Structure 1
């Protein structure tokens, strides 16, 4: 393992609110990585025998082969010894059906269009969610305020409604970045139409909803995650949300 990686795993605060759904699975795997410095082996030891994928070292990915295509063809995930690939592996273990569906659509797009310098709309949207996505089930008024980027209404006026909401992070890059939380970190949020009864239930429902349309249009809303009530002590002060560099107003629509 590269120097400093073990220290990076030490830095994970498993008591953080956004890691609550991940703690039971992720903390033992992280501890194994620290005692036996191999991320792919630690993930593999936690993977069910009938799981959709296994985990292999990064060098097994052949030169010139697209990462997503390799996973689809071999059911093996090339894995580096770092936090990014650790969290990617955790998402595979926690959301196997959704990750397999994302991978299927990525592989289909590669088969149809090849690997291009710029991803097409669908591949771009799938990558955005895979890296930085989250799922929110919330009262309609909260979702409407989020889509409108009405931060005052979302986080202050309607603050009590957050007790009836549940936000689950999905993107492995977002989980990695939140090891060192910063106010500007944003999730691309998908609206869960039904209550999130369990992660397994969410996985099954989400996998069914990942379809080329409307996902190619990026049906996500940006949410600065440290603004979520209860997720960061500083947001108890209303002026936390006055930072327009983070809580940006809606884009003006130009006339035509």
Structure 2
């Protein structure tokens, strides 16, 4: 069922104080309050040397016949629907993670040129899934991977809940559809995660991830992504402090028979994308 975001004036203000939207309070002026930001207001938040800009998605714009990704790659124009939550959160991700967004766009544009506009490759599916629902997880404790592999959600989010609080597991929500879904209080959120085993700071891992995606070392197949029920994280759902939630929540699905996940990415194992 397609998600329909609440009207702007009907959004419960409390959602902005709970993760994941609480992490975007530096853009409160764009997402909170009754008034929608204009395209000009979004562009005002871009650095002066930005390669891209936001443009209103109008009939006149679409008359050029360009694919959305090609328009960004060739003209630097990010078609943006005004007064639209989905596109507003997409714009915010461009503001915070331009290197990751450029990497995705370059790969998508290359795949469109290779496959044509009506056929999607496995890589395109992986890139789109990450763009919409992606999460990057940095786990310094390898013991967290086994329960995740097994979909042992009670262990991962209840018995190991301190790992998500003391820095052994850090995450960055990237997918703009996830941010849009968070507008509904209590909605169960599930991301599609790339997981890295590293003790490096998140910003270092993000830079490696962007380079690896750009060079085709990551996101070549949707099976690289593993589900991460974000609502299980401490404080991310109104009931996440209740152990019973972690035994029965609908966002916790069993692992499909035969499904396996790639090991956590180690930065030193990335070839052309290695930055250090």
Q: Does 1:242 align with 2:244?
A: no
1:38 to partner: Cα distance: 4.4
Give the match's secondary structure for 2:239: helix
Q: Which residue of 1 aligns with 2:216?
A: 212
1:228 to partner: Cα distance: 0.7
Q: 1:56–1:214: structure 2 CA closer, same or farther, 3 Å change rule?
A: closer
* 1:148 counterpart (146, 150, 166): 150
1:5 to partner: Cα distance: 4.7
Partners of 2:181 and 2:200 in 1: how far apart? 24
* Unaligned stretches of 5+ residues in structure 2: 1-5, 260-276
1:123 to partner: Cα distance: 0.5
* Unaligned stretches of 5+ residues in structure 1: none
TM-score (norm 1): 0.86
Contact 1:186 1:225 survives alignment (8 Å): yes
1:232 to partner: Cα distance: 2.1
Cα RMSD for the two superposed structures:
2.4
Contact 1:18 1:168 survives alignment (8 Å): no
Q: Structure 1 stretch 138-147 or stretch 5-14: which is displaced more?
A: 5-14
Give the match's secondary structure for 2:54: strand
Partners of 1:174 and 1:93 in 2: how far apart? 16
1:240 to partner: Cα distance: 0.5
TM-score (norm 2): 0.80
Q: How many pairs align?
A: 246
Q: Which residue of 1 aligns with 2:131?
A: 130
* 1:111 counterpart (87, 110, 113): 113
Q: Which residue of 2 aligns with 1:193?
A: 197
1:230 to partner: Cα distance: 2.5
Which structure is higher in helix share? 1
